[in-house]
Amino acid sequence: MKGLVSAAWLKDNLASSRVVIVDCRFLLNDPDAGEQAYREGHIPGAYYLDLERDLSAPKQPDVRGGRHPLPDVDLIATVFSRIGIISGDHVVAYDDQGGAMAARLWWLLRWTGHDGEISILDRGFAGWKEAGYPVSSEIPSPSATADPYVPRIQDGMVVTQAEVRQRLHRPGSVLVDSREAPRYRGESEPIDPVAGHIPGAVNRFWKDGLTEQGRYKSAEQQRERFADLSPDDEIIVYCGSGVTACPNVLALEAAGFRNVKLYAGSWSDWISYEGNPIKTGDEEN
Stretch 24-53: mean pLDDT:
97
- For 208, residues 6+ apart whose C-beta sits below 8 A from its C-beta are 225
- H/E element, 176: strand 173-177
Tally of domains in the chain: 2
- H/E element, 264: none
Q: How far, in Å, CA of 53 to CA of 31, rounded?
A: 10
Q: How far, in Å, CA of 127 to CA of 247, rounded?
A: 18
Q: In 10 A of CB 48, how many CB atoms?
A: 19
Per-residue model confidence as pLDDT tens digits over 188-201: 999 999 999 999 99
What's the mean per-residue pLDDT of the chain? Answer: 95
What's the pLDDT at 285? 47
In a domain, 283, yes or no: no
What's the pLDDT at 147? 86
**Residue 239 catalytic?**
yes
- For 167, residues 6+ apart whose C-beta sits below 8 A from its C-beta are 159, 173, 175, 234, 236
pLDDT of 203 strictly over 60:
yes
Stretch 130-159: mean pLDDT:
93
What's the pLDDT at 63? 60
What's the pLDDT at 130? 97
Q: How far, in Å, CA of 37 to CA of 108, rounded?
A: 23
In a domain, 204, yes or no: yes
Stretch 127-133: mean pLDDT:
98
**Residue 8 shares a structural domain with residue 126:** yes
**Residue 10 shares a structural domain with residue 126:** yes
Residue 252 CA: distances (Å) to CA of 90, 153, 167, 230, 234? 22, 21, 19, 11, 11
Domain of 75, CATH number, reads: 3.40.250.10
Are 269 and 64 in contact by the 8 Å Cβ rule? The answer is yes
pLDDT of 127 strictly over 60:
yes
What's the pLDDT at 210? 98
Q: Of 61-75, 127-141, 167-181, 232-246, which gets the smallest average pLDDT?
A: 61-75
* Domain's final residue, options 130, 163, 193: 130
**Residue 165 shares a structural domain with residue 88:** no
Please pick, among 108, 236, 239, 262, the residue that the annotation labels catalytic: 239
Per-residue model confidence as pLDDT tens digits over 148-185: 999 999 999 999 999 999 999 999 999 999 999 999 99
pLDDT of 282 strictly over 90:
yes
Name the residue range of residue 166's domain.
155-270
Percentage of the chain surpassing pLDDT 90? 92
The pLDDT confidence band at residue 60, using thresholds 50, 70 and 90, is confident
The pLDDT confidence band at residue 270, using thresholds 50, 70 and 90, is very high
Q: How far, in Å, CA of 205 to CA of 155, rounded?
A: 26
Classify the phi-psi angles of 222: left when phi > 0, otherwise alpha if psi is within -120 to 50, otherwise beta: alpha
Q: How far, in Å, CA of 133 to CA of 108, rounded?
A: 28
Q: How far apart, in Å, do the first and last CA atoms of the chain sit? A: 35
In a domain, 113, yes or no: yes
